[in-house]
Amino acid sequence: MNGNTRPSPWTTSEAIRTYASGALWTAGLVLVFVVGHGPDQAGWWRIRTDAAGWVFLASALVGGWNFFPKGVRAARTLRLDMNFLMTAAIAGAVLIGEPLEAAAIAFLFSLAELLESSAVVRARHSIDALLRLAPEVATLVAEDGSERTVPASDLRAGERVRVRPGEKVPIDGVVVEGQSGVNQANVTGESVPVAKSVGDPVFASTLNTDGFLEIEATTDAGDTTLHRIARLVREAQSKRSPTEQFVQKFARYYTPAVTAAAVLVMAVPPLLGLGTGLMWFERGLTLLVIACPCALVIATPVTIVSAITSAARHGVLIKGGEYVESLGATCAIAFDKTGTLTLGELEVTDVVPLGDMSGDRLLRLAAAMERRSEHPIAEAIVRYASETGGLREDGWTVEEFRAHPGLGVTATVDGARVAVGTIELLAPADDARRFGDHFDALQRAGRTVVVVSRDGVPLGLIGLADALRPEAPGVLARLRREGVHHQILLTGDQNYAARAIGDAVGVDEVMAELKPEGKVAAVREIVRAHRGAAMVGDGVNDAPALAAADVGIAMGGAGSPATIETADIALMADDLNMLPYARRVSQLARRLVRFNIAFALGIKAILAVGAVGGFVSLIVAVLVGDMGASLAVTLNAMRLARLKPRQAGDPPRGDHVA
Ligand code: ADP
Ligand code: MG
């Protein structure tokens, strides 16, 4: 079903035929009640003299028109699809003079199809509802400072808009004036307003709560983060999950098998002289109706689409059903340290000169090099250097700069080869003893230690500290309660610093001093050992490790388009609390998928036995086995929408199903 462009399913011609069929069927029932059936004659002839019979026939034709053509086409290509099965069942029912049943099948099957398409279409479209949350007009600021109200859809990158308290931000941009708390729930799922001031990014459709903001647009109107989310969700919805593929394969055997059983039921008992041919023919028809795999086939996609959509509405972008299924199943999660379990906002705590270069000069040499790097360590060193005495370069000429991921940076400074980074970068297989006690002392204090060296001679050490994310220990404990029993910390940082963080958050295992390839290998090993694993990290630096996991999860997607693109699941908020929510949605979806499939199969099995035994009529088969089962499966999937992320201040287990 390509539901994106389809209008409301309730007003299509199929829908109208369904209503008409239902009305005629009801009219037929009233007629039967008031005037009764015509004279009792067997077979098709009974209908001829029966007013109600004609009405039922009309109902069957009108409702059946929705699928007769498809059914006939399927029959011609010898494909046993549900349209063919239902067409055959209706034809059979008319043939044996059961117009009421024929009409019931036509009407109820049409109704079931309608309900299914509406459920899927609604789930798909609720992502467009997200786009409708964005405001329609914006207050544009002209060159001369005057204001003009324009349609928000006309805004272009570079234009300035004003947003008053209580108004929604019309476009992605940066604050150029003012400050305010902005509720970003529409984009990130966090309900607590985020403080915004000059230089901070803001997103279309978020709510400006209490201040006045002037914003310079950074995107065109059709290209906002919200649009990107909607686009990715639509793509995700159209991918088939592994279970969906499996069920479709299964249906390819199920339907012919039950159809064959139906033919046998029609033919064999009468040949053996058991009961009348008419009786067995009707039981066989009932089996034909049961052979229709509708509820079974819809069970998975309706649940997965529902999971993806409701997660997106809470700021968790899942880029395909397969990730819902694998995150729901996994009991192992690997975490990157810097920026994931820690805030990634490092601070320089110690500068220890080892030779005759002063601490101040050492710091500025490091800063001169690190200005070219984007690593959090580099940012911290540059920031600290500029805070303590300005960023003079002391006339250094930095040439041949190179960043070595997981190791540090090197360059030629005034003809000498300078390295800033790990010991390994300074000299492979070197050891820390030549730094005296300083190195050990810093490490034992949980610091990340960076060595600055020139031509292989250590000049000094820089110690940095990173703060734990306050929510991290709670989130990991929660995940453990909910079945993630293997939690592993992966980092390029040194053992001590890694262990300090690992102990503080409570992971099971710490794997430190890993280079980027080492992280990939470690993730592969974890995936193998636990038959599947997720990895949470930084979507940019950890992209290879994220790709090596079954599910790569990155945080802070709202601020980083690259993160959204590389991760399998992007948490729009920079908040670990969204992780247990993402897992809960996935876990519930997985359970619902399994339950729904078992339920649909169970119902069919019971009905099939009943049909052969003569306890289940055609009407019951289509009412319960088709419409009822589809409806139950769909309603079940809607439970996902009621799952909400835990918010600050909620009771400890606040994201249970309401
Ligand atoms: P993490 O696994 O914590 O994200 P990385 O793999 O990015 O860490 O880096 C591992 C180690 O490499 C850091 O702890 C640091 O010692 C060193 N390093 C990496 N980049 C730099 C840099 N730009 N400057 C100094 N040291 C660096
Ligand atoms: Mg990192």
Residue nearest to atom 9 of ligand 1 (CA): 406
Residue nearest to atom 16 of ligand 1 (CA): 422
Q: What are φ and ψ of residue 509, in 5° steps? A: -145, 145
Q: Indicate which ligand has the atom closest to the C-alpha of 346.
A: 1
Convert the pLDDT of each residue in 558-592 to its tens digit: 888 888 888 999 999 989 999 999 999 999 999 99
pLDDT (average), residues 411-419: 91
Active site residue 356: no
Residue 321's closest CA among 329, 547, 509?
A: 329
Q: Higher confidence at residue 455 or residue 595?
A: 595
Residue 83's closest CA among 105, 56, 53?
A: 105
Amino acid at 168: K
Please give the distance, rounded to the nearest whole angstrom, from the Cα atom of residue 577 to the centre of ligand 1. 26
Task: Decide if pLDDT at 7 tops 70.
Answer: no
DSSP assignment, residue 471? T
Q: Is 541 in the pocket of ligand 1 (CB under 6 A)?
A: yes
Convert the pLDDT of each residue in 193-206 to its tens digit: 999 999 999 999 99
**Cβ within 8 Å of residue 600, ≥6 positions away:** 295, 296, 299, 629, 633
Please give the distance, rounded to the nearest whole angstrom, from the Cα atom of residue 351 to the centre of ligand 1. 17
Task: Decide if pLDDT at 614 tops 70.
Answer: yes
Element (DSSP H or E) covering residue 336? strand 332-336
Q: Is 315 in the pocket of ligand 1 (CB under 6 A)?
A: no
DSSP assignments along 46-114, one per residue: HHHT-HHHHHHHHHHHHHHTTTHHHHHHHHHTT---HHHHHHHHHHHHHHTT-HHHHHHHHHHHHHHHH
Q: Is 375 in the pocket of ligand 1 (CB under 6 A)?
A: yes
Q: Are strands 509-511 and 486-490 parallel, antiparallel or unpaired?
A: parallel
Please identify, by atom number, the ligand 1 atom nearest to the C-alpha of residue 515: 6
Domain assignment present for residue 57? The answer is: no
pLDDT value of position 39: 54
Of 373-387, 478-492, 644-658, the poorest mean pLDDT is in 644-658
Among 554, 583, 612, identify where a domain stops. 583
**Cβ within 8 Å of residue 441, ≥6 positions away:** none
pLDDT value of position 393: 52
Q: Which residues surround ligand 2, an ion (CB under 5 A)?
A: 338, 538, 541
Strand residue runs (E) in 568-621: 569-571
Mutation to probe ligand 1, out of 346, 369, 450 (largest number of atoms < 8 A from CB): 450
Task: Decide if pLDDT at 422 tops 50.
Answer: yes
Convert the pLDDT of each residue in 222-231 to its tens digit: 899 999 888 8
pLDDT value of position 392: 60
Distances (CA, A) of 45 to 230, 300, 315: 57, 44, 62
Please give the distance, rounded to the nearest whole angstrom, from the Cα atom of residue 497 to the centre of ligand 2. 14
User: Both tokens of residue 614?
Assistant: 């003569």
- Check which CATH number belongs to the domain holding 143 and give it: 2.70.150.10
Please give the distance, rounded to the nearest whole angstrom, from the Cα atom of residue 413 to the centre of ligand 1. 21
Q: Is 337 in the pocket of ligand 1 (CB under 6 A)?
A: yes
Please identify, by atom number, the ligand 1 atom nearest to the C-alpha of residue 420: 25
Specify whether 327 is located in the same domain as 434. Answer: no
pLDDT value of position 186: 87
Mutation to probe ligand 1, out of 363, 377, 538 (largest number of atoms < 8 A from CB): 377
Strand residue runs (E) in 95-221: 137-141, 147-151, 160-163, 173-177, 180-183, 194-196, 201-202, 207-208, 213-217
Average pLDDT of every residue of the chain:
88
Among 223, 240, 269, identify where a domain stops. 223
Please identify, by atom number, the ligand 1 atom nearest to the C-alpha of residue 448: 14
Q: Is 215 in the pocket of ligand 1 (CB under 6 A)?
A: no
Distances (CA, A) of 487 to 146, 312, 483, 549: 56, 25, 11, 14
User: By residue range, what is the domain housing residue 548?
Assistant: 313-343+468-583
Domain assignment present for residue 153? The answer is: yes
Domain assignment present for residue 303? The answer is: no
Domain assignment present for residue 286? The answer is: no
Specify whether 394 is located in the same domain as 423. Answer: yes
Task: Decide if pLDDT at 125 tops 80.
Answer: no
- Quick one: pLDDT band at residue 428, thresholds 50, 70, 90? low
Q: How far apart are CA 33 and CA 216, in angstroms?
A: 71
pLDDT value of position 641: 84
Please identify, by atom number, the ligand 1 atom nearest to the C-alpha of residue 538: 4
Domain assignment present for residue 505? The answer is: yes
Q: Which residue has the tokens 């015509």?
A: 38
pLDDT value of position 389: 73
Domain assignment present for residue 115? The answer is: no
- Check which CATH number belongs to the domain holding 552 and give it: 3.40.50.1000
Residue nearest to atom 27 of ligand 1 (CA): 408
Q: Indicate which ligand has the atom closest to the C-alpha of 379.
A: 1
Domain assignment present for residue 177? The answer is: yes
Q: Indicate which ligand has the atom closest to the C-alpha of 515.
A: 1
Please identify, by atom number, the ligand 1 atom nearest to the C-alpha of residue 403: 23
pLDDT (average), residues 277-292: 91
Please give the distance, rounded to the nearest whole angstrom, from the Cα atom of residue 422 to the centre of ligand 1. 8
Residue nearest to atom 20 of ligand 1 (CA): 408
Provide, rounded to the nearest whole percent, the portion of the chain with pLDDT above 90: 55
Q: Is 422 in the pocket of ligand 1 (CB under 6 A)?
A: yes
pLDDT value of position 483: 93
Domain assignment present for residue 146? The answer is: yes
Distances (CA, A) of 629 to 63, 113, 148, 483, 625: 20, 12, 55, 30, 5
Residue nearest to atom 24 of ligand 1 (CA): 408
Structurally, the chain folds into a number of domains equal to 3
Specify whether 397 is located in the same domain as 338. Answer: no
Among 223, 239, 265, identify where a domain stops. 223
- Quick one: pLDDT band at residue 34, thresholds 50, 70, 90? confident
Q: Indicate which ligand has the atom closest to the C-alpha of 369.
A: 1
pLDDT (average), residues 596-617: 93
Specify whether 332 is located in the same domain as 365. Answer: no
> Among the options 50, 81, 172, 336, which is catalytic?
336
Please give the distance, rounded to the nearest whole angstrom, from the Cα atom of residue 393 to the centre of ligand 2. 28
Strand residue runs (E) in 466-560: 486-490, 509-511, 534-537, 551-555
User: Both tokens of residue 16?
Assistant: 């109208």
- Quick one: pLDDT band at residue 82, thresholds 50, 70, 90? confident
Q: Which residue(s) pair with 556 in the sheet?
A: none
Specify whether 417 is located in the same domain as 505. Answer: no
211 class by beta-carbon count within 10 Å (0-12 exposed, 13-18 middle, 19+ buried): middle
Specify whether 519 is located in the same domain as 449. Answer: no
Specify whether 501 is located in the same domain as 568. Answer: yes
pLDDT value of position 201: 94
Please give the distance, rounded to the nearest whole angstrom, from the Cα atom of residue 316 to the centre of ligand 2. 21
pLDDT value of position 46: 56
Specify whether 388 is located in the same domain as 423. Answer: yes
pLDDT (average), residues 251-271: 91
Residue nearest to atom 19 of ligand 1 (CA): 408
Please give the distance, rounded to the nearest whole angstrom, from the Cα atom of residue 493 to the centre of ligand 1. 6
Of 127-136, 385-394, 618-627, the poorest mean pLDDT is in 385-394
pLDDT (average), residues 91-95: 92
Specify whether 512 is located in the same domain as 575. Answer: yes
pLDDT value of position 565: 85
Q: Is 130 in the pocket of ligand 1 (CB under 6 A)?
A: no
Q: Which residue has the tokens 């399998």?
A: 568
Mutation to probe ligand 1, out of 493, 517, 523, 541 (largest number of atoms < 8 A from CB): 493
Specify whether 317 is located in the same domain as 377. Answer: no
Long-range contacts of 223-226 (CB under 8 A, 24+ apart): 223/172, 224/134, 224/171, 224/172, 225/172, 225/187, 225/558, 225/561, 225/572, 226/130, 226/131, 226/133, 226/134, 226/186, 226/187
Rounded to 10°, the helix 495-505/472-481 angle is: 60
Specify whether 364 is located in the same domain as 500. Answer: no
Q: Is 542 in the pocket of ligand 1 (CB under 6 A)?
A: no
Q: Is 491 in the pocket of ligand 1 (CB under 6 A)?
A: yes
Q: Are strands 173-177 and 160-163 parallel, antiparallel or unpaired?
A: unpaired
Q: Indicate which ligand has the atom closest to the C-alpha of 522.
A: 1
pLDDT value of position 496: 87
Please give the distance, rounded to the nearest whole angstrom, from the Cα atom of residue 340 to the centre of ligand 2. 8
Q: Indicate which ligand has the atom closest to the C-alpha of 448.
A: 1
Mutation to probe ligand 1, out of 422, 425, 542 (largest number of atoms < 8 A from CB): 422
Asked if 536 contacts 515 with a C-beta cutoff of 8 angstroms, the reply is no
Please give the distance, rounded to the nearest whole angstrom, from the Cα atom of residue 377 to the centre of ligand 1. 7
Q: How far apart are CA 194 and CA 4, in angstroms?
A: 33
Specify whether 475 is located in the same domain as 327. Answer: yes
